[in-house]
Amino acid sequence: MNKDKKEEKKFEVNLDNLKPLDVKKSKGKFKTFTNGSVFEGSPIQPYLGKPLVINLDKILSIYPGEDGIGTMIHAEDNQSTWKVLEEIDIVIKRINE
C-alpha cells in the first residue's frame, strides 16, 4: 500500500458505527464535543468523530440535528454552526456543568 492510500485509509470512517467520545466533566467556558461534520459523497471524513472544542460564550442556540442524528450548535453573528454527535440533552447538560 503506498503512502497516499495509507493517508486516505486513516480518514475513512464507518458511518454505521459512530459513537460520541467519552468526555470528562470540565469547568470553564470551553467544552469538548464529538464532531459530527460529514463531507457528503466522500469516503474520507477527516473531522468526523474527532474532538471539537467550542467557546460557550459564542453559542446562540442549540437544536436537534435536522437529519435526526446528534445536535446542531449555532454561534452568534452567524460565525459557525457545528454538528456534534451528542444528543441535545447531553449537550445541554455539558453546557450547564
Return all residues near 62 (Cβ < 8 A) that are at least 6 apart.
71, 72, 73, 74, 88, 91, 92, 95
Nearest CA among 50, 56, 53, 52 for reference residue 28? 56
pLDDT at 56: 92
What's the whole-model pTM score? 0.77
For 49, the 3-state DSSP assignment is coil
The pLDDT tens digits of the residues spanning 40-87 come to 888 888 888 899 999 999 899 999 998 888 999 999 887 889 999 999
Nearest CA among 97, 52, 61 for reference residue 79? 61
Measured distance CA(17)–CA(90) in Å, rounded: 19
